[in-house]
Amino acid sequence: MSGFEIALLENKEIVTLHLKGFLDAHTAPDLETELQKCISNKRYKVIVNFQELGYISSAGLGVFMGFIEEIRKNGGDIKLTNMSSKIFRVFDLLGFPALYEIFKTEEEAVQKFT
Amino acid sequence: MLKKQGGENLAGKIKRYQLKLPSSTNHLELIREFVTNIARGVGFDDEKISQIELAVDEACTNVVKHAYKGDDKQPLDVLVQTDSKKFKIIISDKGKGFSPNKIKTPDMKKYLSEMRVGGLGIYLMQTLMDEVDFKMEPGKKNRVQLVKYIPQ
């Protein structure tokens, strides 16, 4: 058991990934697979909802770095939402808020896309 | 394998907790639980517990990914040692070490603008902990020692 789950929701051109559990070096490949699928399916508008994520390490953050360039090159973005203060602190520590748009709610991220 | 040992030093009674596991990322969750449970018992607040949790995860992830290059059957030891002043975690392996004096604190802005993946672990350990020390003997014993001061 990996202690990590991803629920995928598609709404028109936006794909939303809901993360649950622990995102570490063991589970990061699962998220890589999902983001790779988005790119293969030419779905470049991606929202990642962290509401139910309890933990993230640099291996988890690294996944976003690995895909953002290609997604933006194709006119899309990865927007991040619903982070707990624990998760936000890790992103903040590594300077991610300067690179990624982080929203309190999914609705705000959707509006930014449309 | 979990061992608990004791002793004395100037900063009071020493307690030791040891976890010995094969070097699989599958065990990171267990290692985090092991360390955070002890940290909670010492009286750290949630924020400090999260910092210790992340620093230990980063150290162990480096061992699996870099020291053993993904070989998940090698020895990985996590020793927690506490007295009244310091919460110390010693992570040791027998893999390929690295030269600690070659590690520079990354220029984060440059780092992120180049969108490099990985390699943030040592920076995080140094940011999250009060003391970080590396002792490398490649193939014999490499050791990362992380210390968080216990609130007095």
Domains and CATH numbers, chain A: 4-108 (3.30.750.24)
Structure confidence at residue B96 (pLDDT)? 85
Question: Phi and psi (nearest 5°) for B57?
Answer: -60, -45
In angstroms, what separates the C-alpha of B24 from chain A's closest C-alpha?
8
Using pLDDT thresholds of 50, 70 and 90, give the confidence band for residue B117.
very low
Q: Which CATH number covers residue B142?
A: 3.30.565.10
Count of residues making up chain A: 114
**Count of structural domains within chain B:** 1
**Rounded-to-integer distance, Cα B43 and Cα A92, Å:** 25
Range with lowest mean pLDDT among B20-34, B62-76, B86-100, B107-121: B107-121
Structure confidence at residue B137 (pLDDT)? 87
Domain extent, residue B72, equals 2-149
Among A residues 44-73, those touching chain B with beta carbons less than 8 Å apart: 55, 57-59, 61-62, 65-66, 68-69
Mutate to test the interface with A, among B57, B64, B68, B114 (most CBs of A within 10 A): B57
**Residue-wise pLDDT tens digits, B37-86:** 999 999 999 999 999 999 999 999 999 988 888 899 999 999 999 999 99
Amino acid (1-letter code) at residue A105: T
Spans in chain A with pLDDT lower than 70: 1-2
Structure confidence at residue B115 (pLDDT)? 47
**Residue-wise pLDDT tens digits, A77-91:** 999 999 999 999 999
How much of chain B, in percent, has pLDDT values that exceed 70?
Answer: 80
Half-sphere exposure of A88 (CA within 13 A, CB side): 12
**Rounded-to-integer distance, Cα B119 and Cα A69, Å:** 18
